[in-house]
Structure 1
Amino acid sequence: MKRHNQENKKNTILMSTLNIKDRFNIELPADLITATSRRQVPNACFSFVKPKKTAKPTMLHVSPEMLSALGLTTKDAESDAFLKVFTGNEVLPNTNPYAMCYGGHQFGNWAGQLGDGRAINLAEVEHKGKTWALQLKGAGETPYSRTADGLAVLRSSIREYLCSEAMYHLGVPTTRALSLALSGDQVLRDIMYNGNPDFEKGAIVCRVAPSFLRFGSYEIFAARKDMGTLRTLVDYTLKQHYPHLGEPSKDTYLQFFKEIGEKSLDMVMHWQRVGFVHGVMNTDNMSILGLTIDYGPYGWLEGYDHGWTPNTTDSGQKRYRYGTQPEVVLWNLFQLAKALYPLIEETEALELILKNFRDKLGKARLVMMKSKLGLVETDKKDAQLVDELETVLQRSETDMTLFFRNLGNFKKKEAADGVSVIADAFYSPREITGKLEDAWKDWFLKYRERLKKEIPNDDDRKIAMNTVNPKYVLRNYMAQLAIDAADKGDYSVIEELFILLKQPYEEQKDAEKWFAKRPEWARNKVGCSMLSCSS
């Protein structure tokens, strides 16, 4: 009893450090049933649920930036209380963890109720004027787990932890990650969905965001014709996350939808800029704050290929391939528009917002591509120059990251053909002969002429290009190396990549080994090319 009181006291100290300001599970309707049995949950935005206690938790890594953002210190992170709270083994005093209810369209089809099947929200924290929701992924069963166990494994947890923080430092709107821990339990998973399951190390990530609300959070109530809960949730969202729009009204709801579209467009253009492919752009994975959410079978382009998807589940349809991501955002916004329509009842106004979004897609992409090419001035042939580049890029396997980063070294006043400047980006340099070589030389001639219209000199242009073309991204093979090492108890690669990816645009002399094409051994290796949704 005395030890239990001491543990509660430690958690109370941590509680006093964290400025808990729960709103979601106080202001919104809750599931009336408290059991974790799988079921449909009507008329509720969430279900109260406690995380599962684990066998022997071990903290592997903590993000110093997110510690600070929450008002915590390194000393806090080293405490037993921190370990227990952020592995789900203790609940912060005066808090009520919960799993959120939502639905979604998956691969173009309505899937009905989905919800937080392996995520449990611990609390909301306010610090320095910002509110953060703390969510454990892999912390056990919820009413939304369906046939799954609500747990996560080390490989997917490492990928989410590293990628969410890497994306932040790339300047991509994203959820964040606070901590990565082993649960000490073994979790059964069929990684390739081929009927050969095996046990893997269980793990838990604490991910953090201002909100984990997604398009599907609103779709579920519209689908159920539960207009009361839909209105309650939308009004809550306006109050907490879009207060500048004013009091709820039809005009406010329209403006709300418009801003979600603008934020989503900004997000997907950043994806295109750095070569990130989400892999599972279902409406339940679309944040209403325009954040990258749910790091499952994602990947970065190795060869510049508009048709590439990292998701084995999507390998046939390729719905979520790199080249279609902006259009998929539009399709998902259309589904959100249908969900919000009962509150607005103005088809033309919603259609106009969607039309404007479509009109902006091409313009936004051209602006983004011009920034990657170091082009600032306006020229009527810029779109053609970009189109011709993308055509020749895809005629041979050309590494996206290396190509654009090295392109900054091109000199507009030199007589070189330009191919030698970016030659390291080719996976098969011997293929660049004949008509293909001529096509590359022709493009560089046009690029040189276009650069002559730019005011900045070569050095200034390179500096500008290097701020939008990263040198380091979390390629799948890099994440897999961290996973393979961690499986053997070596967590140093996690730390190495975490540090590396905090400065993705900088020249890091001691990290040049990571500025390289995907090694051939990783081309078809599980986890290094395509991945499943298995976690």
Structure 2
Amino acid sequence: MCSIQTVLVFALVAATSVTPVYVLEFCQGTDRECHSHDEMPSGTVKSRWNMSVSNLIQDLDQFSVSCKKLIEAFPVDEVDGNFVRTVKNCIFSKSIPTPLKGPLRLAAVSKDVVEGILDVDVAVTQSEEFLHYASGGRLLQGSVPLAHRYGGHQFGYWAGQLGDGRAHSLGQYTNRNGEVWELQLKGSGKTPYSRSGDGRAVIRSSVREFLCSEAMHFLGVPTSRAASLIVSDEPVLRDQFYSGNVKTERGAVVLRLAKSWFRIGSLEILAQSGEIDLLRKLLNFVIGEHFASVDSDDPDKYLVFYSTVVNETAHLIAQWMSVGFAHGVCNTDNFSLLSITIDYGPFGFMESYNPNFVPNTSDDEGRYSVGAQASIGLFNLEKLLMALSPVLSEKQQKEAKMILKGYVDIYQMRIHQLFKAKLGLLGEEEEDGYLIAFLLKMMEDTQSDFTMTFRQLSEVSARQLHNSDFTQMWALEDLSSHKLFSDWLSMYLLRLSRQRDDSDLDRQHRMKNVNPRYVLRNWMAESAIGKAEMNDFSEVELLHHILSFPFVTQETAEEAGYAARPPVWAKRLKVSCSS
């Protein structure tokens, strides 16, 4: 058997033991508070919010956003127009969305977002007005659409100016709970940052973004949200796999939300361009608006900010790994300063456990394989430190490097906690890391399904474990074919037996709360996309509903085969950056 450092691919190879500064609190429990839903005794699910329809906005003319805070905080591009250009000395350019050509159709809507965040009656989304507001054809009251200027390291190399090439921020909305959310359209036309692109998104990528944004939220992973998906008949030309085979697809727009869309690349472009005063101004704004724990008068505030981002980035990637999620394009322009998951492109959830799983066919070298994500997080945080260096003293830069060295320990600690919870382990024993690593090595050898192996371990009873009775548990049947499975099982059962006052039902309940039965597998998304392209949005709606309750067994999901062995054709699926 190998050591945990070599088997557990979720740990970094070059582990350095340095105590991190300013470690944040995070949810360590396995109870419902760690998730975004509550299971009722009947097995149904109740919402996170409950409000009377009479208290919701019934007319979109009453809905307003504000761009005042962003526009007053920063200089805006002095040049008007959506033509492509190099932009200097600003954070945003004013840019008007280009309306989708009709007819328009509402393909999907998240009631949880529309009513729970935006305070709008979901019935309003069936109106003609909503179609235009949510696709860029009409501006919300108070909206001054903005495109954000940023740069980034793409596949390890500085790519210069990037920016919102097909996204328009509509403004900020403050809801009845006092939360401030920034609304953004994706696929809404050209901006000064479109480079050679047309500013559009197509149905296949938009369906994936809508579904995965919401699925990740209900898995308990920090993420941007998606309110709606509008599709059109507007023709959009795409070479999906960069093979010279250009096809006509159809345009679509996602209305998405985040507390902020600032990313590492937002700071990088300013540092690279020598715009240090603007860099400092953006940092002060981000800290003041989104980092309440950082004292704005603290002379070390940028250092504390950096420590917070290091800590939360480690936590975010650990959460990705705990559900088998591979982002696909972990460039610095896709890494949020708030450590939420943004910019869903060629992502994928692992099926057979494979540390070398690469969801993006454009990633020829496997730079962003699922097993490399923690290391890429470290790389991106190094680039963030480089961007911060102009506003840090020499002493602070040295301290920041020490903070960065602590990333490995933070990540490994969180991964260890998450996988212990996935196995239902309580307390801490010396061999717990080895037990986890042993299991993952067997999963890799047997190509066992990542999601269902952990889920079926959650569902199997102690008696079934003792008897190795895995009838109708296909993932555990695969795992049990390993020649060392009985050795691991004996270790696992012995470990569970030492958990005092822990019944088998309690273990199963805890494990079911952290091991989803349903994730957005590529084959499921592909099936829904195929129908959506024929104007049948039934499977998009079905998946959206099922993925809103990923920890609860659902009859319709079982009938659709969403927890069954993936179909053979699923292995042939490819996803690229082209969308």
Whether the aligned pair in 2 keeps the contact of 1:49 and 1:142 (CA below 8 Å) is yes
Partner of 1:351: 401
Identify the residue that residue 534 of structure 2 maps to in structure 1: 488
For 1:442 and 1:61, the matched residues in 2 are separated by 48
Cα pair 1:12 1:93 within 8 Å, conserved: no
Aligned to 1:210: 259
Q: Which moved more, 1:254-263 or 1:128-137?
A: 254-263
Q: Give the number of equivalent residue pairs.
A: 515
Paired position in structure 2 for 1:478: 524
Between stretches 297-306 and 444-453, larger displacement belongs to 444-453
Q: Distance in 2 between matches of 1:531 and 1:307?
A: 16
Residue 77 of structure 1 corresponds to 125
- Please tell me the residue identity of whatever aligns with 2:490: L
Q: Label 1:415 to 1:366 Cα distance change in 2 as closer, same or farther (>3 A).
A: closer
| One-letter amino acid of the counterpart of residue 503, structure 2 | N
Cα distance in structure 1, aligned partners of 2:486 and 2:327: 33
Over aligned residues, Cα RMSD in angstroms? 1.9
Q: Tell me the residue number matched to 2:432.
A: 382
Q: Distance in 2 between matches of 1:339 and 1:322?
A: 26
Q: Match for 1:45 among 86, 91, 96?
A: 91
Q: In structure 1, give the amino acid aligned to 2:538.
A: S
Give a deviation string over 1:124-153, Cα, whole Å, max 9, x none.
Answer: 111121011111100000111111101000
Change (3 A) 1:12 1:417: closer
Q: State the secondary structure of the residue aligned to 2:446.
A: coil
Equivalent residue number for residue 4 of structure 2:
none
Distance in 2 (CA, whole Å) between partners of 1:238 and 1:347 is: 18
Listed one character per residue, the Cα deviations across residues 300-345 of structure 1 (whole Å, up to 9, x for unaligned) are: 010011110101121x321111112122112111110111111112
**How far apart are 1:419 and its partner, in Å?**
7.1
Q: Which one of 109, 114, 118 corresponds to residue 67 of structure 1?
A: 114
Deviation at 1:53, TM superposition (A): 1.9
Which range moves more in the overlay, 386-395 or 86-95?
86-95
Q: Report the CA distance shift for 1:443/1:230 in structure 2 as closer, same or farther (over 3 A).
A: same
1:164–1:295 contact (8 Å) kept in structure 2: yes
* Contact 2:315/2:411 (<8 A) preserved: no
Q: Distance in 2 between matches of 1:510 and 1:333?
A: 42
Structure 1 segment 224-373 matched on structure 2, within 5 A? 224-314=273-363, 316-345=364-393, 346-373=396-423
Q: Within 1, Cα distance between the matches of 2:535 and 2:447?
A: 36
- CA displacement 1:192-215 (0-9 Å, x = unmatched): 110011000110001111111000
Cα separation, 2, equivalents of 1:248 and 1:336 = 22
Structure 1 residues 23, 260: CA separation in 2 closer, same or farther (over 3 Å shift)? same
* Distance in 1 (alpha carbons) for counterparts of 2:403 and 2:505: 41
| Cα 1:426–1:376 shift into 2, 3 Å | closer
CA deviation vs aligned residue, 1:429-482 (integer Å, no higher than 9, x gap): 5x965xx3x211111111111111113111110100001100111111001111
Matches within 5 A, 1:479-518: 479-512=525-558, 513-518=561-566
2:334 & 2:403 partners in 1: Cα distance? 21
Q: Tell me, what secondary structure is at the counterpart of 1:70?
A: coil
Cα offset for 1:79?
A: 2.7
Output one character per residue of 1:153-192: Cα deviation in whole Å (capped at 9) or x when no partner. 0000000001101111111100000110013301000011
1:394 is the counterpart of 2:444: yes
**1-side partners of 2:472 and 2:372: how far apart?**
26
**2:161 aligned with 1:113, yes or no?**
yes
Distance 1:492 1:303 in 2: 28
More helix by share: 1
Q: Which moved more, 1:127-136 or 1:320-329?
A: 320-329
Q: Does 1 or 2 have the higher relative contact order (CA < 8 Å, sep 6+)?
A: 2
- SS at the partner of 1:395? helix
1:181 corresponds to which residue?
Answer: 230
SS of the residue corresponding to residue 466 of structure 2 reads coil
Secondary structure at the counterpart of residue 366 of structure 1: helix
Answer yes or no: is the 8 Å Cα contact 1:21–1:126 preserved in 2.
no
The letter of the residue matching 2:563 is F
Could you tell me the TM-score, scaled by structure 1's length?
Answer: 0.93
**1:366 & 1:12 partners in 2: Cα distance?**
47
Letter of the 1:112 partner, please give it. G
Could you tell me how far apart the structure 2 residues matched to 1:310 and 1:277 are? Answer: 7
Tell me whether 104-113 or 344-353 shows the greater mean CA deviation.
344-353
Q: How does 1:102-141 map to 2 (within 5 A)?
A: 102-127=150-175, 128-141=177-190
Q: Tell me the TM-score normalized by structure 2.
A: 0.86
The separation in 2 between residues aligned to 1:12 and 1:145, in whole angstroms, is 36
- Tell which deviates more after alignment, 339-348 or 396-405: 339-348
Answer yes or no: is the 8 Å Cα contact 1:396–1:426 preserved in 2: no
* Aligned position for 1:444: 489
Identity rate of aligned residues, in percent?
Answer: 38
11-20 vs 63-72, which moves further: 11-20
Rounded to whole Å, the distance in 2 between the matches of 1:274 and 1:407 is: 15
Conserved 8 A contact 2:451-2:515: yes
Summarize the alignment of residues 23-34 of structure 1 with structure 2, pairs less than 5 Å apart: 23-34=69-80
| Cα distance change on mapping 1:492 and 1:175 into 2, 3 Å | same
- 1:50 maps to a residue whose letter is I
| Letter of the 2:143 counterpart | T
Partner of 1:520 in structure 2?
568
1:219 match:
268
Structure 1 residues 390 and 413 mapped into 2: Cα distance closer, same or farther (>3 Å)? same
The answer (yes or no) to whether the contact 2:315–2:410 under 8 Å persists in 1 is no
Kindly indicate whether the alpha-carbon contact (under 8 Å) linking 1:192 and 1:534 is maintained by their aligned counterparts in 2. yes
Structure 1 CA distance for aligned equivalents of residues 407 and 140 of structure 2: 43
* Residue 81 (structure 2) aligns with: 35
Question: Deviations along 1:464-506, whole A, 9 cap, x unmatched?
Answer: 0001100111111001111001111211101111111110001
- Once residues 415 and 207 of structure 1 are traced to their aligned partners in structure 2, the CA distance between those partners, rounded to angstroms, is 44
Distance in 2 between the 1:15 and 1:259 partners? 39
Query: How big is each residue's C-alpha offset from its partner over 1:38-78, in whole Å with a ceiling of 9 and x where there is no partner?
Result: 11111110110000022212222221111121121123322
Where structure 1 has 5 or more consecutive residues not aligned to the other structure, the ranges are 1-10
